Chain A
Amino acid sequence: MPRRKKRYMEDDEVIVFDHVSKMYKENSNYALDDVSIRIKKGEFVFVVGESGSGKSTLTKLLLRELIPTKGNIYVLNYDLKRLRHRKVPKYRRNIGVVFQDFRLLRDRNVYENVAFAQRIIQVSGREIRRNVPRVLATVNLAGKYKAKPNNLSGGEQQRVAIARALVNRPSILLADEPTGNLDPKTSLEIMHLFEEINNAGTTVIMVTHDKNIVNAMSKRVITLNRGVVVSDEENGVYIDED
């Protein structure tokens, strides 16, 4: 069982970055420098910043792809710094991930891409047949379950990725530049989908540098600059450094 770190987290918190720093190579600059963030259950948070601000490092730390050089990260009572490699898969099943480039399995159809996430956690065939159509309906792709990713538009591919991230009912949905490859209209549709998911109770962390989206949504915005949190505001806006 993962070690419980209740004393570091309030009951309503799902993510805590406690003075986290990350340095890739010894004596190099910190990619993240003394970052402290607390995120509550059900929140919708944008993490924004320019290239090299530390957004990707933050994402990788959340996915436990990296371990902090200093400080601790607690997610859903998992202590990520002390989490053993073999426990990482179980931890990741609590986090749905959506990427800018969709990362779908090109040789499998929509249904198989979503079912794949369920098979990994050894859900029975009967449950998969029940859950996959339900989640595909949620993202408005019920009619395209047989299509291969290459036959779908960018927006549709991102919906498949969102369905795959949601099918295991994660507590947290982590989206890394989910609208980066989409046109403005499709981006807005996808953002409404994320809002619906958030309204249903899932905590959404969205890493982006899409100013229009951030400003249109009026949610909590954490701004990173050269690895440091420069602002953290409720109903915030994208601070344009230019």
Chain B
Amino acid sequence: MKISTLFYTLWQGIKNLFRNKLFTLASIATISSCLFLFGIFYAVLANFQNIIKTAEEGVCVVVFFDEGISEDRIGEIGEMIKKRGEVSAINFVSADEAWESFKEEYLGEYSEGFLENPLADSANYEIYLNDVSMQNSLVTFLESVDGVREVKRSEMTAMTLDGVNKLIGYVSLGIILLLFFVSVFLISNTVTIGIQVRKEEITIMKYIGATDFFTRAPFVIEGILIGLIGSSIPLGVIYFLYNRAIGFVTDSFSVLSQLLNFLTIEEIFKVLLPLSLAIGVGIGFFGSFSTVRKHLRV
């Protein structure tokens, strides 16, 4: 293809946006609305998952050792635990540290009556998990380790978090798929109507001797541009709305702000930006490509 033809095609694609202003506006509005809903839903979902993840990170399994166990054996057990795939972090708490923590938390000044450490056999490992659903397999392993007296776990919390996590996963997958199909349907309908108006132009081009590529290219460029603009608008709106919304929630419900850890807009955009642009441009490209194709057999 000649350079001049390439520029001509690009220029025609841009001009097409203005030739059919109503169609352009309708297409951009459709894509923007769908992707705005998608973006809002994604932001809410990502924050939910972050909250669950933060809660999961606090769930730990505590391992206590047999009386009189050697420090070397405790070290060996620690190495074995670190190698497990379920483990994200491991923290050794000595008997003295356990007593200090207990005193601080429950006894305060009343602890002065104790001359010896009543928790002498309470040295333990606090084990944090990559995923709470892996707790059972880790506990089974730990209970079989020689030198381990007791394994304490929070089964209820783990099950609840795991359940919520799965529920959010299924619901979000369902809503994302639904939104995606609705978007594709609405956008392809809009593109189809737009192309119908241009059928005459496509027919003339084909009669004069335009190749399929030459006929299709300006429409595809137009579709890509519409997709790009249509996905950029909701991204911009979400960018400005998100911080205000989070600010409003934390200001109005100060209790929540201490419990919940919201993601920053930058963290949200790491996924949402490329995803929205890809969906917008992809729908614009494939929508125009396939619709023009139907009219090329002239």
Contact = CB atoms under 8 A, between A and B. Distances in A.
A117 B208 contact: yes
B204 A103 contact: yes
Given A65-B298, A103-B200, A107-B19, A121 B209 contact: yes
Contacts of A168: 208-209
Nearest to B16: A107
A118 to B, nearest CB: 10
A116 B12 CA distance: 11
B8 A119 contact: yes
B205 interface: yes
A105 to B, nearest CB: 6
Interface in B192-251: 200-201, 203-212, 214
B204 A89 contact: no
A242 to B, nearest CB: 33
A151 B201 CA distance: 19
A124 B3 CA distance: 10
Contact of B208 (A65, A86, A122, A164): A164
Contacts of A89: 206, 209-212, 214
Nearest to B211: A89
Interface in A71-101: 86, 89-93, 97
A92 B209 contact: yes
Contacts of B210: 89, 120
Contacts of A103: 200, 203-204, 207
A153 to B, nearest CB: 20
Interface string A202-225: 000000000000000000000000
Given A65-B298, A105-B201, A120 B2 contact: no
A120 B200 contact: no
A88 B2 CA distance: 20
A150 B205 CA distance: 20
A102 B212 CA distance: 22
Contacts of A121: 209
Interface size class of A (residues with CB under 8 A): 20 to 34
A63 interface: yes
A125 interface: yes
Interface in A107-159: 107, 116-117, 119-122, 124-125
B5 interface: yes
B4 interface: yes
Which of A89, A107, A116 has the most chain B CB atoms inside 10 A of its CB? Answer: A89
Contacts of A93: 208-209
Contacts of A97: 207-208
Which of B4, B200, B208, B298 has the most chain A CB atoms inside 10 A of its CB? Answer: B208
A107 B4 CA distance: 22
Contacts of A164: 208
A82 to B, nearest CB: 18
Contacts of B19: 107
A54 to B, nearest CB: 20
A57 to B, nearest CB: 15
B128 to A, nearest CB: 62
Which of B8, B19, B207, B212 has the most chain A CB atoms inside 10 A of its CB? Answer: B207
13 contacts: A63-B207, A89-B210, A90-B209, A91-B209, A93-B209, A103-B207, A117-B208, A119-B8, A120-B210, A120-B214, A122-B4, A124-B4, A168-B208
Interface of A: 63, 65, 86, 89-93, 97, 103, 105, 107, 116-117, 119-122, 124-125, 164, 168
Given A116-B208, A120-B209, 18 more contacts: A65-B298, A86-B212, A90-B209, A91-B209, A92-B206, A92-B207, A92-B208, A92-B209, A93-B208, A97-B207, A97-B208, A103-B200, A103-B207, A119-B5, A120-B208, A122-B4, A164-B208, A168-B208
User: 7 closest pairs, A vs B, by CB?
Assistant: A93-B209, A92-B209, A120-B210, A89-B211, A89-B209, A122-B5, A107-B19
